[in-house]
Amino acid sequence: MKKKIIILGSTGSIGLQTINIFKKDKKNFDFLALSTFSNVDKIFKQAKDLKVKNLIINDINKFNLVKLKNKNNNLNIFNSFDDLEKIINKKRIYYSMVSVSGLDGLKPTIILSKYTNNLAIVNKESLICGWDLIKKNLKKYKSNFIPIDSEHYSIHSIIKGHNNSEIEKIYITASGGPFLNYPKNKFKFIKPKNALNHPNWKMGKKISIDSATLMNKVFEVIEARNIFDISYDKISILTHRKSYLHAIVKFKSGFAQFLVHEPDMKIPIHNSIYNNTCTNYAQSKSLNFDIINNLDLRKVNSNKFPTIKLLNNLPGYNSLFETALLTINDYFVNKFLLNQINFDQLINSIIKISNLSIFQKYKKIKPKNVNEIYKLRDYVSLKIKNLGI
């Protein structure tokens, strides 16, 4: 019997790479559903190629247009992730990939955690804001969770079979973005086009800016704390320009394990599908000893990248403050991309606004449900606008 697959965000970079891996072995898989926000041309091509009958198109205008044009075909076209349960119809899914952007990925993640044997997540917002809700379902429905970000997949692979009591320290690496060696006194002159120029990865605009400010590493540390249930004082960030070494785990036994691979997301995706057992990864390259011999690992300069200091006062559990912090960051990243603030103002605004008491109070509150998280996101956005910033 073919194994059932769902890919949300199938027309984005991660979705496309996931599909390309599955296509090499598609006789063994049945694609139950795909989703896109608005790339209808691409998703229809995917549906034809993979014989998919269920599509989710989130953009309401594109959805309405597609429904009018496709009344007489055999496709089931939906507009909301709320329809996932109808699509799944209590079937057990072998593998689901959630590569949807933003907090909109939380609700489908919660739904899929009930029906999926192997739940692969790239949507960091879900893991940051709603981890406790996801974890509850993973345990209740015996679903296996697989983090796909290269750092977290590396940690996941290294500590498999180990207890947390054996771990002394976890290190995640950061390329440092485009401004690692850029003078701090010139940050105010940085333009969005400069900040989008990541040295190693091809990413979307928002995550590229987060990489430039190092907020992405703040979020990755929060993810690691949540996923691996390990305290913040046991997680550190090291800059590593080449993005070849992704994680180090230091064990109390005296051993330390490193995990290296090319800066290519196909590698963690491929291994998440085949559970690190497949030996025919076609793109595998020889070890790059030039990089290994010069890893150049350094502590982050927190004076240059003060966003890192936000980690010093976070609660040791999943709270609503992470939703506030994520929303504050999104708000100012958008202003920067619109050239309404400069790069220095972007960093300073994130820190200043997140330290306001009206948002700090959420550190004491744990999220109870998805709607509570969504309501807080909307409240925080409105509150910042009302502050006239």
- Please state the pTM of the whole predicted model: 0.94
In the numeric block, the tokens 């900040």 are attached to: 195
Q: CA-CA distance, 297 to 119, in Å (whole number)?
A: 32
Provide mean pLDDT across the span 232-257.
96
Q: Give me the pLDDT at residue 73, please.
A: 73
**What does the domain layout of the chain look like in residue ranges?**
3-148, 149-176+214-305
pLDDT tens, 150-208?
999 999 999 999 999 999 999 999 999 899 999 999 999 999 999 988 776 667 788 89
pLDDT band at 388 (very low <50, low <70, confident <90, very high): confident
Return the CATH number of the domain spanning residue range 3-148. Answer: 3.40.50.720
The model's pLDDT over 294-310, given as tens digits with 9 standing for 90+, comes to 999 999 999 999 999 99
The 235-239 sheet, strands edge to edge: 256-260, 245-251, 167-174, 235-239, 298-299
Give which of 138, 102, 96, 151 is closest to 121, Cα–Cα.
Answer: 96
Torsion sign (Cα): 87, 149, 155, 289: positive
